[in-house]
Amino acid sequence: MKKLVTYSLLLFATLAQAQELNCNVVINHDQVQGTNTQIFTTLEQSIRDFVNNQRWTDMTVAEKERIECTFMLVVSSVTTDGLFSATMQVQSKRPVYNTTYQSTLVNLQDNSCSFTYQEFDRIEFQPTQFTSNLASLLAYYCYYIIGMDADSYARMGGTPYFQQCENIVQQAQSSSANTSEIDGWKAFSSTKNRYAMINQIMDQAFAPFREYIYTYHRLGLDIMSDNVANGRARIAADINILQEANRARPATSLVYTFMDAKNDELVNLFQKGTAEEKKKVYDVCMAVDPTRQDQYDKINK
């Protein structure tokens, strides 16, 4: 019995201090020829260990509360001196209260992922200094995921983690990384790179958008186990915020990435909505994301 109690206490202590993320890492290297494929297996495991074993915040997180996420890298080339060129798909999910449903919260693609890596290199992140482009790239998206998750549970709750993203961008910009590595961090070179994303999300003009992340999840999805109609009505009531944000900054990527994450969910939710809700949601979706008209037409069927 004494051993059982001791084991239970140790298990509880382990779970109570679990890291924040539970990340699945996938590396696709089909485009790369003539390279020792073992390096991709090693890199995949190194990234997985780095993301999942790092303490990103001072929060106490239970094992079951870890954020489910995926990093998928598609490598297009590797040079003889270890410079990788890749795209990266970043996804995270959030559980909906009192259900088994997981709502996609982040779904975005970064097309400027270049980094130097040699097999068995240690990936090390230092909050106050640049160590490598790969470490900064991964840390940036870890904090971004945590920030978005926090915004979904408390109004503007992600601010401390988005500030960490800002710090990482600034450090990367002042580093001695080569031209291809620095590309995703450049100011004003793209409306969709890492600099632009965090600049937009910390812009006060997008505070209503961030508050809608909270409304959508905490006041909408999370109450649906008790009352589906009320939760759906709450999501529909403020959805025009997406259109207002899009009008304020037409080139922003924030609204587009939101729709990337939520288009299927919105269709499924509002196919059963009232006529007024259907019209409002359909009109906003078409205004901010017209390329998916076939998808949004399903709302009215």
pLDDT digits (tens, 9 = 90+) for 185-206: 998 888 889 999 999 999 999 9
| Cα separation, 71 vs 62, whole angstroms | 22
16 confidence band (pLDDT: 50, 70, 90): very low
Mean pLDDT of the chain, nearest integer: 91
Residues 6+ apart with CB under 8 A from 139: 54, 56, 125, 164, 168
8 confidence band (pLDDT: 50, 70, 90): very low
Q: Is 267 helix (H, G, I), strand (E, B) or coil?
A: helix
What is the per-residue pLDDT for 2?
37
What is the per-residue pLDDT for 119?
92
Instruction: Lay out the sheet containing 67-78: strands in order across.
Output: 21-28, 67-78, 83-95, 102-116
Report the percentage of the chain scoring pLDDT > 70: 93
- Letter for the amino acid at 115? F
Which whole number is the average pLDDT over 69-88?
96
301 confidence band (pLDDT: 50, 70, 90): confident
Residues 6+ apart with CB under 8 A from 91: 69, 70, 72, 104, 106, 107
Which whole number is the average pLDDT over 242-259?
89
Measured in residues, the chain has a length of: 301
What is the per-residue pLDDT for 139?
98
32 confidence band (pLDDT: 50, 70, 90): very high
pTM given for the model: 0.92
Return the top range by mean pLDDT from 31-40, 154-163, 192-201: 154-163
pLDDT digits (tens, 9 = 90+) for 92-102: 999 999 999 99
pLDDT beyond 50 at 1: no
What is the per-residue pLDDT for 18?
63
Which whole number is the average pLDDT over 123-131?
94
70 confidence band (pLDDT: 50, 70, 90): very high
180 confidence band (pLDDT: 50, 70, 90): confident
In the chain, where the domains are located: 17-202, 208-300
Burial of 255 (0-12, 13-18, 19+ CB in 10 A): buried
